[in-house]
Structure 1
Amino acid sequence: MRMRGHRSRAVVAVTAAAVLGAAGCDAFGGGGSEPSASKARQAKPSPSPTPVWDGSPASIAAVGDSITRGFDACTVLSDCPEVSWATGGSAEVNSLAVRLLGVSKAATHSWNYAVTGARMADLPAQMARAAARKPDLVTVMAGANDACRASTVEMTSVADFRAGFEEAMRTLRRAAPRTQVYVASVPNLKRLWSQGRTSELGKQVWKLGICPSMLGDADVLDSAANLRRDTVQQRVEDYNTVLEEVCAKDARCRFDGGAVYAYRFGTEQLSRWDWFHPSKDGQARLAEIAYRRITARSS
């Protein structure tokens, strides 16, 4: 009986030692012993990961449509890239490039590949030209012309719009995988109609073919005209959803969160030539929106 008791105590002791040993492995990473204080003091902290987004790009390329070309901001029915919100050098606008790079560097390190009348299907080719520059940042503002067609039936489908933007992003990534992208939302075309229709001159210019799906028969307010405008507006909102969703899949892309769409453009921000495209003041507002979004600490 006594021998049996000694054997039981021995088993308990061995078991306890095994448990403590196992606990020691868990506590010290499986090494079985605690590192010395001197080694702990010598251990260097892991370096912080490099942020994916850099709010201070050293070069900028712009792609898009007439808005980025400064269309009708200086003279009637003409481009005026000098006042472009993205890359212009005008002191009146204080473009994104000037704000980020400074006046002298903006003149040599920013490029405008936007084309008046361009639609999303044209963006991949523009993006290829921009990517060849290996810019730190590419700005994108496109989609208004996809909605501004002769009729609502001719508007770019949401599926085709998505395919075009995805192809543009793939084109950029193949050539410039580290380039950052700022994506502006499509403006609220219905608001531009409601503001611009206060000008008789503007309405005469609209008859030349500026955004007929929204601006045609500007003073007609019957159910058919209202339905037409609402259809265009819904398509714009669908385009903005696409821009946001596609951009969200890329770690180096920032959507403006709908800021351009939400901006309440007034008559001071509209071209005095066509009362639809941004004036110099409107271009300045677009530059300010972009600058705030790009330099924000978090997405």
Structure 2
Amino acid sequence: MQKRRHVPRAVLALVTTAVVGVAGCDAVGGDSPAPSRTEARPSPKPTPTWDRSPASVVAVGDSITRGFDACTVLSDCPEVSWATGSSPEVDSLAVRLLGKAKAAEHSWNYAVTGARMADVPGQLAQAVTRRPELVAVMAGANDACRASTDEMTSVADFRAQFEDAMGTLRDALPKTQVFVASVPNLKRLWEQGRTNPLGKQVWKLGICPSMLSDPDSLTTQSNQRRDTVQDRVEAYNEVLEEVCKKDRRCRFDDGAVYDFRFGTDQLSQWDWFHPSVNGQARLAEIAYRTVTN
């Protein structure tokens, strides 16, 4: 390799001056005055450092975050919630981040069974009074789980509602961090649960009919209905990712919940659709990994 020659600073300065002078003339014309020197632009604000050890956690969302059907049939069981539960079998996100004693005092669950994305802004309006350092969001399954595919929340409305939720949070707490979980793969839950006779009986009570009605039917119409629900879930996840990316203090799970392959051990023994205690623990692992990486 050829050695670099040492060029005296004085020569460099003369060459630089000459080049700048020529460039200035070319830019404005030979007889035009040189442009006035503009003030230097301020440096962009640095991206805030993500705090892997928040001191408080709030959860919002739907039945999954309430631990619905994880302990008893058709009942909430918040102590096994992936987000804020106290059960050692789950080791919730709050417990992993704060420790058991602190989590009992500095984590709150405002999720509501049956809630849709339209309900999340209201949940956050309550949650911000706690001034949490981290908000965990899991919502969207009920927007797809409707009586029919025609009643599913439109993608445009889903986007507007999630943006409204984020705006509610940011108006009150501009520096609070947000973890956003993807909507689960509902079609995979149908594939797993349809093998259980008890689960299918519970499904008849009205659990996610757009996906779960006529669970044994494999007609073209039934398959198209399920595919329509699945496409909508995937569109919701795209919205969650896109909106979250616009917020410097928001982390999306990159589809980890959607991609997780819930098996029979991870599904409720009561309805074979909602997460079991084991399933809640797997959700807690995903959330903790996303928040701390």
**Shorter-normalised TM-score: what interval?**
0.7 to 0.9
Amino acid at match of 1:259: A
Q: Which has the larger radius of gyration?
A: 1
Runs of 4+ in structure 1 off by over 3 angstroms are 18-26
Could you tell me how far apart the structure 2 residues matched to 1:89 and 1:82 are?
Answer: 5
Deviations 1:259-291 (A, max 9, x none): 000000001000001000000000000000000
Q: What is the CA–CA distance in structure 2 between the aligned matches of 1:91 and 1:247, rounded to whole Å?
A: 31
In the alignment, the residues of structure 2 paired with residue 78 and residue 129 of structure 1 have an alpha-carbon distance, to the nearest angstrom, of: 23
2-side partners of 1:25 and 1:170: how far apart? 51
Aligned counterpart in structure 2 of residue 149 of structure 1, from 142, 146, 151: 146
* Shift in CA distance, 152/103, structure 1 to aligned 2, threshold 3 Å: same
> Is 2:256 aligned against 1:287?
no
2:164 corresponding residue in structure 1: 167
Per the alignment, residue 10 of structure 1 pairs with none
> Where do residues 213-232 of structure 1 align in structure 2 (5 Å cutoff)?
213-232=210-229
**Is 1:243 the counterpart of 2:240 in the alignment?**
yes
Q: Is the 8 A contact 1:182 1:253 kept in 2?
A: yes
Matched residue, 1:62: 59
Identity of aligned residues (%): 77
Partner Cα separation in structure 2 for residue 191 and residue 291 of structure 1 = 23
Give me the whole-angstrom Cα distance separating, in 2, the residues matched to 1:278 and 1:20: 69
Contact 1:52 1:251 in 2 (8 A): no
Counterpart CA distance in 1 for 2:143 and 2:137 is 14
Question: 1:72 maps to what in 2?
Answer: 69
2:174 paired with 1:177: yes
Partner of 2:92: 95
Cα-to-partner distance string for 1:79-98 (whole Å, 9 max, x where unaligned): 00000000000001000000
Which one of 177, 188, 193 corresponds to residue 191 of structure 1?
A: 188
Work out the CA distance in 2 between the residues paired with 1:229 and 1:188.
11
Give unmatched runs, 5+ long, in structure 2.
1-9, 19-45
Once the two structures are superposed, residues 148-188 of structure 1 have per-residue CA deviations (whole angstroms, 9 ceiling, x without a partner) of 00000000000000000000000000000000000000000
Contact 2:48 2:248 in 1 (8 A): no
Q: CA deviation at 1:258?
A: 0.1
What's the TM-score, normalizing by structure 2? 0.85
CA distance in 2, matches of 1:21, 1:181: 51
